[in-house]
Amino acid sequence: METALFVLVIVCACGFTMLNGFRDAANSIAGAVRTGALKPRIAVVGASVFACLGTLLSTSFSAALLDAASFEYHSPGSGLGLLLAAIVAATGWLLWAWMRGIPHSSTHALFAGLAGALLASALLHPEEPMGVPLLLLGGVLIPTIVTPLVAFLVSFVATIPATWFMRHSTSSRVTRVSRGAQAVTSLAVSLGNGLQDGQRNAALLTFAFVIYSGTTTDAAIPWWAPVVAALCMGLGALGGAWRITHTIAYRLVRFDPLRGATAQGVSALLLFAGAMILHLPLSTTQAVTSSIVGAGANQRFESVMWTNVLRVASYWLTGPIICLGLGWVLFLALHPLVG
């Protein structure tokens, strides 16, 4: 039974990772496709390759994540059940958001689903749900509040020196240089996406292996975990998630190549800093979306479609709550089977 459950968790985790790459590819390529910096097919292939590369480079960061996000479980079946409930809850919500063209954080959906499953486990086994407050605070609440604000403000401010630097250039030269910069920063965002989300997906696979095999998180990460995560991220990114690409590129703000390059540069820097320095689970979706809105807002004419922006923000706020509830319900439903 535990072997079958382990295989099911691995399959679902791989599916979740592919969905992650599929949806987050839109964040990387939306601006570049919108301004013509990259052709859609080239943008998708580039996003796939660099997301895969970033995942393979993030192995050392995954080790730190395993220690920070470890949780208590009563048996291998119970631990695998917790992961399965969290993955299914997050996947269901992310598919719903994608169908409606809403960019949403895969990381925050997964962490919230896991927190809900842990609360359900604590209900069935009278104990203090250790780790849940820290998981929700450090993995969901703080990044959800801080990332959009920082990304918006930094992009808004960074647009000022960018436009000043190009003030004496012709419009054609500004467009040409900005498109070149945007092509580079688009790939940098994909690399940052791999560093951020790739490490968590590799850690998710490692968690399942640790629970099933009975080893400890202090042991070395199995070689296959980052490889499988990288392949799944890359394959998923090839899909492009054009519904979300259209939302980010056309339904939130009108921006030119200069502002697009600035926004993506800021997004990439935030993702790199979060993965390599701060070890915080920053959302690629929130970093890119907020940066584009921030850079686009710094124009003389009104360019931001605030109604759509607020609609996306409402999903960011309600999504973790829904995923928490789904994780709670799913684990209660699974408990008779997993023990």
Say if 337 falls within a structural domain: no
In contact, 90 and 16? CB cutoff 8 Å: yes
Say if 270 falls within a structural domain: yes
Q: Which domain holds residue 54?
A: 2-126+134-331
Query: How many helical (H) and strand (E) elements, i.e. helices and strands, does the chain have?
Result: 14, 0
CA distances from residue 231 to 52, 65, 115, 227 in whole angstroms, order as listed: 6, 20, 27, 6
Question: Which residue type occupies 325?
Answer: G
Say if 218 falls within a structural domain: yes
pLDDT of residue 60: 54
Count structural domains, the chain. 1
Say if 212 falls within a structural domain: yes
For the stretch 261-296, what's the b/e string if a residue is b when 16 or more beta carbons lie within 10 angstroms of its beta carbon?
A: bbbbbbbbbbbbebbeeeebbbbbbbbbbbbbbbbb
Say if 336 falls within a structural domain: no
pLDDT of residue 64: 47
Say if 228 falls within a structural domain: yes
For the stretch 313-335, what's the b/e string if a residue is b when 16 or more beta carbons lie within 10 angstroms of its beta carbon?
A: bebbeebbebbbebbbebbbebb
Q: What is the mean pLDDT of each run of 10 residues along the chain (339 residues)?
A: 89 94 87 87 91 81 50 73 94 94 91 90 71 78 91 96 88 90 93 87 86 67 86 88 85 90 94 83 90 90 89 94 96 84
CA distances from residue 99 to 96, 204, 243, 259 in whole angstroms, order as listed: 5, 25, 7, 28
Whether pTM > 0.85 for this model: the answer is: yes
Query: The tokens 């997906």 sit on which residue?
Result: 201
Query: The tokens 């509040």 sit on which residue?
Result: 145
248 CA to centre of own chain? 15
Say if 326 falls within a structural domain: yes
In a 13 Å sphere around the CA of 174, the CA atoms on its Cβ side amount to: 16
